[in-house]
Every structure is written in C-alpha cells, then in structure tokens.
Amino acid sequence: MIDIQDLSGTWNLRGTDVDLPAEVPGCVHTDLLAAGRIPDPFFGDNEHAVAWVGRQDWTYQRDLTWDGPAHDRIDLVFDGLDTVARVELGGRVLGETRNMHRSYRFDVTSQLGTAAADRDPADATAGASLPLSVYLTSAYTEAARVEALVGPKPNCYPEPFPFVRKMACSFGWDWGPTLVTAGIWRPVRLEGWSTARLATVRPLATYRDGGGDLDLTVDVERTRDRALRAQVLLDGRELTVVDVPADQTSLRARIPVDGIAAWSPRGYGPPALYELTVVLLDGDQELDRWRRHTGFRTVTIDRGADDAGTRFVIEVNGEPVLAKGVNWIPDDIFPSRMTRARYEKRLREAVAAGVNLVRVWGGGIYEDRAFYELCDELGLLVWQDFLFACACYPEDEPIFSEVVAEARENVTRLSPHPSLITWNGNNENLWLHDAMNWAAEPGGGESWGEKYYLQTLPAIVAELDPTRPYQAGSPWSGSWEHAPNSPDHQTFHSWEVWNREDYGNYRDSAPRFVSEFGWQAPPAWTTLRDAVSDDPMLPDSPGVLHHQKAEDGNGKLARGLEPHFPAPASTEAWHYLTQLNQVRAIRTGVEHWRSHWPHTAGTILWQLNDLWPVTSWAAIDGAGRYKPLYFALRDVHADRALTIQPRDGRLVVAVLNDHPEPWTGSLSVESRDSSGTLLHIGAEEVEVAPRSVTLVPINGGDVLVATLDGRRALWFAADHHLGDPDLTVTASSVPGGLDVHVNAAGLARDILLQADRIHPDAVTDQGFVTLLPGESTTLHVRAPIDLDPRSVKDPWVLTDLASVLRENRPS
C-alpha cells in the first residue's frame, strides 16, 4: 500500500523584512494577516495598502524527513502551487512550476532514503532530514517575462493575467479586488510506494435503460516490471479484474453495469451515486487503491437548427432540462481558505433558491474535489469553463504546453463526477474579440486564443471525455457564420441591459439560452457598513466607491432607477431602492424567458456569490448575507409558477409548469384599482402539460392578481403615488429569534425586513413581500442571541415602498 505523510501545518515564510510562521495550505496574504503584518484588505481602501505583497518574491520553508517504512520510491506531491515556484530539497532543485491549476510530483527517493531491499543502501540516506524550500516568484514578474517573449495581448482589464496560468480574478475584476496571491494553496504530502501505483483513474459512466456503461482508463506508474491486476468494484461488488502485463502502463476496460439507477438532476429524479473502487494488485498484495463516488447518466446538448435559429437545450438521460442556473465565482479571493463546510453551505443555499445548474466561470479556478462531490450529492448540474476569460491569450510557448497539461489533468481529475455535464472553452473571448475589434490591436490579430477554443480543447475533450459535450465559448453561436453573441443561435450574454438599457428591454427578445445576465445592487447594509469608514456613508463616498468595481457602476445604478423611482433622498433609500431594482430586473428577465420555454432553454444568473464585500450582481454578498434577490430566486425558479407578461400587444398569464406531472386547476384573475380595491374577478380552467408553458390571455388593469393552487402573480401599471398601506407590525419572541407579524389595511408594496439591522448575524426567511388590502404575513427572524422585539421598530429595519417614496417628496 501507499504510505502518506501529510506536510500540512506550520511552515516558515520569508520575504523582504518578513520572517514568520506560515500555514500550509495557505497563501502569503493569509499568513501576513494572521501575523498582524498587513491590515484587512477588505476594509476601506486597504487593498491598495497591501498591493506590495503581490509584487514581492516569497519563500516557504520547512525541514523534511521521511518517517514511513522503506519503499522503492518516495514522492513529494503538491496538489497546488500558486504559481511560479522553484522547489528545492537540501539545496537541490527538484523542479519549477508556472501553473496554479496543476499538481506536481517530484521523486525525492535518493535524498530522503528508504531504498528497497534489492537496492544498494549506499544510494540512500534513510531517515535524513533536509531543508525543503519553495521559492515563489511574483506573478507580475513572470507575466512581464512572458509578455516580453510573446508580445502584448488585448484584454478587458489593465492587468497581465493572460500571461500566467493563475486565477485571473486575483488581478481584479469588475466585482473583485486586486490581491495577487502566492503560496502553497492546496495540500502537500510525501508518498511512499513500491512496485507500482495508480497514476490516474478516468471513469466515464453513462446510463442506458436499466443499466449503464463504464468506460474505465487506468494509468500505472511503475518501479518494477511485474504482471499486475486491477480489480474494479462498484459498491463493493466486483465488476471485473483486468490483467496488467509487466510491459504495460495503461489499461482500458469497457464494463456493462446492470441493475443501477440513473443519476438525475434536481427535479428530475434522485441523484443516484455508487462507490467506484479500483484496486491495484501484485498477486494478492494490494499496492494502491482509488475510490470515488460516481453516477451513471447520459448528457447531450441539442444544438440543432430550427426556423428561429439554433437551439441550445441541455438533455440528461434523454430528457430536456430547463436550466435554472447561477454563475459561480471563487467564493474567496484567497481560495485556500475554502473548506468543505463552506462549499456545502453555499451550494445548499443555491439548491434552496431553486437552482439546478452552477456554471464555474472561466476567470476563477477548477474548484476543489469537495465542490464537485457536493454537486453530485445535491443533483446540481455543473457547467465547467476552461480557465480563459475576457482577454486574448497567447498560443505560443511557454503558455501553450501549460494549457495542454492543465486541461488534460483537470478533464481527467473531474471525470468521475456525474454533476459535470459540459466543458466550455472560454468566457466571452470569442465574442469580445469580434465585438471589441481586438484583431486591430497589437497582439490581437494572431495567436489570441482561437486555437485553444476551436482546436486544442475540443480535441482533448474528445480524447479524454467524449461523454460530455464541449462548447467553444460562452457566448458562442456555433460558428463564425453568425455573430458570437447572437440571441438566435445557442448561448447569449445579455449585457446591453444593465450597461445601457433598462431591464424592461429583457422582453425585447427571446434568446435560445441566456448564460449570463444580471443587475447590480449593494450588499446587505451591515456588510457595506462594516467595509467602509465613511462618515457619513453616502452612495458616492470614497469607501463605498472603492467597493464598487464596475466601470461607472454607480452611474448605471442611478440610471437604472430613473425610469421607475425618483432620486433617493438618503443613503438608506438608495440602498433599499437599488436592492428592489435588482429584484425587479431579474424577475423581469427570468419570468419572460421562462415563458418562452423551450425556445429559451434556460438562464444562468450572473452571479450567485461574491468573494469580498462589494456592490455587485450577486445574490449572496461577500459576507455571506442574503440580498433580497436571493429570496426572489426561489420564486422565479419554482417548479410551478405564474407570471403576467405583455405579449403581442396584450397581457397574458404564463402558467409555468416545470414538473413531471400536469398542472390543472382554476386560474383566478382579479382586476383591482391603484389602491388595491377589487373591481372584478374571473376564472378559467387550465391544464398545463408536464414540463411546459401555457399562455392565458387576460385584460389589462391598474393592478392584476393571478392565482392558481396557492401560486400568485402580480402586475402593476405604476409605482408612484402609492397610498399609505397602514401597516400594523408586531413582533414576538420565539426560540432562536423573533416572529414578525405584518398586517396591511391598504395596498403594501415591497415590504422589506432587513434582519442584519437588528443584529449582524440575524437572518430572515423572506425578501420583498407585497400584501393586498387586508392581507397579513409573518416574517421569521433568527439569530444566535435573544432579540428585543422592539428592535423591529428601529429605523429602516422594516419598511415598504410607499414609505420610501414619501421620504422623497418635498415637505
């Protein structure tokens, strides 16, 4: 068996005028923070004060001894080095690395000893202790070196991320700080082994009625030429034993598997998983064991032509799936801080918001194994970008061979995960090269990345993972015959809305698949207040603006409010109204596009999460607090929902049934005046087939209310001149928090309870709530301490749209 010696824990970190303990896995920034050597980079403009960290070279050091039994081979294994490293043991260079997204293995047998019995003991120094040093060169230095070799390349941000294979967004983005990391960011260990080990195991599992097929490839690394066997088990049941001749280092087995259930995405059946084990045997002696959970499913994307253009419909096990997706960015600018528990919390939050697909965006990382295992367990589909975003990328050396090695390793590493259903070549590079005329800029006319997306990467996927469809980019129309971001062909990014247009313009088209769209809002009040020292804190005060990274972001927020509301009279009103505008924008887009299913086959919101406190498009802010948008996602992603939509010059109720059973019942439509008084009510029997949409024409009015089986949709002709809702608010103490009871005598639009204004760790279970005259609701506030019921009466804890608009009126 392989013996493992974990090297996680305390190392030593050295830099200019720095010598202190370091934690591995980790990074320089977190070590300096722990030692009190730098201020919190998330607070104020401290991001600038710590910029020097990313421009220095650093060294991690510790003494290394092999404490295990004698083996043929001792390897030093790094699961991740960030990024440009020279590894030395006892003054001897083991190797150099230039890629954050790869793992590395170095043979240290001759230095650490433990020679096998049939080797000359003089070749080793068993039990030797030697200094291990990892010298890390600044990513800026490496990027400058590479740029000097290959020439300049256009990109969207004034940072050199295309010239080094590193998490691009550590160089800053329009929602992220520039904090360029270095470190040993994933686990490191010594491995002792003899005769042979399992170098890679690549299982490709597909489903067919009543069973599945396992296409298994195993690569073996050897120290001895011996005939071996590989035993394959599924949930402990032996499927097969494959001979591995003495001269063979790779085997492939195609194994039919009967009597299993399909892995299915959320809403389409259970995500059935099975424990797959591969045991490498020398006679009866176990040399190595590989174990993962996997699932059997078949994935295709229907990209056929029709009268409207080119489809993009994800199909799992032969069934079309309406994608209710979110874009995922790294959940921490320092990804070494991520834990399985934190991944689980965030992904379960996605599930609770009705999400069934998570897109891992191309400016981040290939996430930790725990991320994909949790998606497997939760039935979340994973769309995985290769790591290219918003830039031209050189196709020359030394980058090209790094890209190939990185892609091959990660396609193999992620192959067991049934949740992973598509590989995507890049984020926006094909589109922006065309739209921004990068070909006319220095370095943009040749060797700009097209070869990766249209040749290199699809060839790697076809060789190593033909069970998953590949797409060249997001957005991508399928070929250069159409504009890359054509709404009529395959995937589409909707950014004219937000950047230049009002959210009502979402209704102007029905793209085939919307893989990015979004609308900004500030984070929760406490998150923003904790991040800045501005006094007073204003929408345009220095700290608030520093935590707004989008170009003219606050200007776009203001212009987005103009068609709908008067200018906010206070920072609190600005915070409330911009949060409300974000919710309304996303509702408008998703409900409109869902009403066009299957013509529009899905949406992927930009974005689920943030990696620091910032005004952004996220639904969950950088402190992990929910914006009101998070709660709205539950509604727009519900399996059964109603929405009132303008269609062909009139209004319709779109009855949205993303459920395996028909939806039948009496659809009620109420017409009310602007005060909410009932004027007319009508009803119509509807029967909506499974996984389909039915449109029911209705007449217009000031206020329309459609209901079916407890689901409700509202339509308002105007926002202004709302009357006093005459709210009665009472709060009662309950175990773990408060129950807040709200009754409305009049029409109460967009009631919002901001629990973090009661206590920083308090949460509520609803976002914006609208009550018709005479209606009530209960908001549940939960916190780790007892809460004072009177706190609900504090300013801005609970408010509503009419109250905010009254604040803007002249006295």
Residues marked as catalytic: 428
Coil vs helix vs strand at 68: coil
C-alpha 156/C-alpha 397 separation (Å) is 23
Pairing of strands 3-6, 188-193: antiparallel
Total Cβ atoms within 10 A of residue 482: 15
Q: Determine contact, residues 631/685, Cβ cutoff 8 Å.
A: no
Distance (Å) of CA 281 to CA 228, 249, 253, 306: 6, 14, 16, 54
563: buried, middle or exposed (CB in 10 Å: 19+, 13-18, 0-12)?
A: exposed
| CA dist., res. 242 & res. 670, Å (int) | 69
Contact 764, 742 (CB under 8 A): no
CA-based nearest residue to 465, from 425, 404, 422, 427: 422
Q: Cβ distance 674 to 772 under 8 Å?
A: no
- Say if residues 438 and 431 touch (Cβ distance below 8 Å): no
- Spatial CB neighbours of 549, under 8 Å, sequence gap ≥ 6: 172, 173, 174, 175, 176, 177, 614, 616
Distance CA 650, CA 648 (A): 6
Q: Which residues of 721-759 are buried (b: 16+ CB within 10 A; e: fewer)?
A: ebeebebeeebeeeeebbebebbbebbbbbbbbbbbbbb
User: Burial of 290 by CB count in 10 Å (0-12 exposed, 13-18 middle, 19+ buried)?
Assistant: middle
How many Å apart are CA 544 and CA 45, to the nearest integer?
A: 10
